[in-house]
Chain A
């Protein structure tokens, strides 16, 4: 999802040190099922992004109802460990107050900004002159949209109706012909 470059560069060095890094971000209750990849702060940061992506709208589940960050955590658990690690580092940078100061002039972690300020940060990443920041924006965007539209209520809200009556979860699984006999020596020339 996220490749070498963004995480290998100077940007992510911001995530490792400095007083501003210690500024506390949003704290959210963790899912009862636990998290497999994301830490509490990364979870909260991602959910904060999702809240801006999916603000309340009549007939649609909001980001919390759709449990976007929780679903994203499950997705990350199946991806390559190094890829998941990169996403964690990206989220750390995204919520990093020092990075915020350098990029947008604020020292409040993204997850604790007012909604309008969060929108401005997201827009700043989307339109950044640095391709690395644009790729970070797209990585997070893809992750939250994939997780949100995995929720049945979100799918239903689009008007999509899945075809019914065609899928058979008990369909027989073929693994070998019961009367299979190896046809040794048969020459067939196409």
Chain B
């Protein structure tokens, strides 16, 4: 069997495939798992709902990128639209369109998974050899402050002036030209996503990848997955062509990421004793935008290279946050900036002078139950994501906005705008208190998410988790979940490297199940 990447337009008739392992999803989890299983000589079929897009498609056109490379054309959101969700949907998944930030899992998070959630055998010591390998294979290296763009330098300077901790971010790039287009797909293949690294290697070893193929349902035969039933999508319209792909595998690994993995299980009638789709964590983000007198050009250069975890732990019951900056491309900036009409035009006219600070909130570590994923009764192909925003969240958002505004003022901002629908304008320290009086409610203060975790949590009991400590679905013999959906909590850092490390660690269990 020779490996190949297939696209939907090639699948002109129904097909039934057999293999050792069927992997659903090609992102950070699936990409790593596919290679590790192929390296073991296993016959692997990978299904990817998104298209096979490569550097020849990554032309910097924002609308095209969001339409073709993101879930729901970049418009995925909670049911009430109160949290916008950016998530990849293409070969390589989120690794194709993320901003390259690479962090190892904080030790305290792994300790919490062990102590609170009953996860066994997954600690820093167990993951270290996998991180070492990944960092070498994906060229994950520090991006020194001297190479930071002005957007990141502003954060660095503001943090320094206020005496806050600060660090530089490792990135998975090779010969990076720092174009600033990471979120649109890298046109030079500098980004070492699974699209250009692990997936080609796995295909060379025999893995068959089918893009534009949407897994709809797992067919169960007792405690085993008998088949994966999938619809072929037209690459041009993203609509089902009417052709079906059926994969009969010894083992199935669901790697669709938080939200989609839970949805596939639910569509298959697998509720995990009520746990599937529960405890979805979004790293909810609030953003302050600032105008600087000098040109910042936050749309060019390596997008995300400075961070601070100064406020990640504010004590029990207090939402903490990670601080980073985003690139500010025109369309992304337009839909995330507040205001309407001439006021919004004024903001957009000042785009070259704009800086933004992200406060990425660590959820799931204070007893908060996070969000839920469910199927819509009227259209099961669509999902319903809910993420209740409680006073606990709003208190954290409010304090995070104050800190971010102070950082920007310290770095020389002449104006800071809050993410409120009617933004709070902050020109000096005395204005920061205005944030206390601003409205904090869904759709009055914009909240975003670029990191999705949970929904198929790993844990020590089938009554409180979906998969066991080998990533196996508790109530099936040959079904695994290998992606960020298994995280029992959020992380407090960008999740890519954790997902990859867990996938590589977990590959041993998936491989063993083939021979069981």
Contacts and interface: CB of A to CB of B under 8 A. Distances in A.
Listed residue (A1, A3, A4, A57) with the most chain B CB atoms within 10 angstroms of its CB: A3
Nearest to B386: A3
Contacts of B40: 186-188
Interface residues of B, number: 79
A53 B60 contact: no
B342 A55 contact: yes
Interface string B161-178: 000000000000000010
A185 B41 contact: yes
Contacts of B81: 2-3, 135, 138-139
B200 interface: yes
B396 to A, nearest CB: 21
Contacts of B12: none
B376 interface: yes
Contacts of A185: 41
A80 B60 contact: no
Contacts of B508: 189-190
B3 A160 contact: no
Contact of B188 (A127, A166, A170): A166
Contact of A173 (B56, B72, B334): B56
Interface in B74-91: 74-75, 77-82
B1 A182 contact: yes
Contact of A5 (B4, B61, B79, B133): B79
Nearest to B178: A163
Nearest to A187: B40
Interface string B393-426: 0000000000000000000000000000110000
A4 B384 contact: yes
Interface string A142-155: 10011011100011
Nearest to A76: B73
B443 A163 contact: no
Interface in A115-158: 119, 122, 126-127, 131, 134-135, 137-139, 141-142, 145-146, 148-150, 154-155, 157-158
Listed residue (B52, B130, B331, B345) with the most chain A CB atoms within 10 angstroms of its CB: B331
B58 A174 contact: no
Interface string B258-270: 0000000000000
Interface residues of A, number: 65
A150 B60 contact: no
Listed residue (B39, B66, B75, B82) with the most chain A CB atoms within 10 angstroms of its CB: B75
B177 A166 contact: yes
A168 interface: yes
A187 B334 contact: no
A171 B349 contact: no
B5 interface: yes
Contact of A168 (B36, B55, B75): B55
A155 to B, nearest CB: 5
A134 B422 CA distance: 13
A127 B203 CA distance: 53
A124 to B, nearest CB: 12
Contacts of A171: 54-56
A190 B36 contact: yes
10 A-B pairs closest in CB distance? A150-B63, A182-B206, A134-B443, A3-B79, A177-B204, A158-B351, A188-B39, A149-B331, A82-B379, A167-B187
16 contacts: A79-B72, A126-B340, A126-B421, A134-B444, A135-B81, A145-B335, A150-B63, A158-B348, A160-B329, A160-B330, A166-B177, A174-B54, A177-B203, A182-B205, A182-B206, A186-B40
